[in-house]
Amino acid sequence: MSEWDGEPVSAEPAGLEGGGQLLVGALRRVAFGHDCLGLTKRDFAIAFHGDANEVFATFRAFLQALAHAGRRKLRAARPGAPNLTPDETLLVAMVAAAQCGDETLLDAYLCWLARAEARGAVAITTRALATALAVHGQWLQAPARPSPGTA
């Protein structure tokens, strides 16, 4: 457990492992504008030994493509929050779909997130991020959605 704004929170989002935790944690720090670049780069250095800068650049390109192509602003939980937002769940599931080559599912997720004319860039960066994670043994699984009344 850690503290954020005086409120105790879990250090890791529920239902994620390894690469998924890393991506969601980095997304949250970026979304909330926290000066945690050193922490994020350290996390990437541990997970992607030898290729941390390249994988981090790919992650940033992925976020930039989403920001440019987005149909709306994504909702991220504050760093350290125990549960995933629906958008965080969707992003992890989208990268997982790309990792297993499920183009139909990837396209379906992209329809929710990106404008039609800009989906290509998001698809490219999603596949690049999925590949970078897989090369380092970080295989993602779509997080289980909580049952009604448990979130």
User: End-to-end distance of the chain based on CA atoms, in angstroms?
Assistant: 19
- Any residues with CB less than 8 A from the CB of 114 and at least 6 apart, and which? 66, 69, 70, 71, 122
pLDDT by residue (tens digit) across 61-102? Answer: 999 999 999 999 999 999 989 999 999 999 999 999 999 999
**Model pLDDT, residue 14:** 56
Does residue 11 surpass a pLDDT of 60? no
Question: Which structure tokens are listed for 18?
Answer: 């390894």
At position 30, the amino acid (one-letter code) is: V
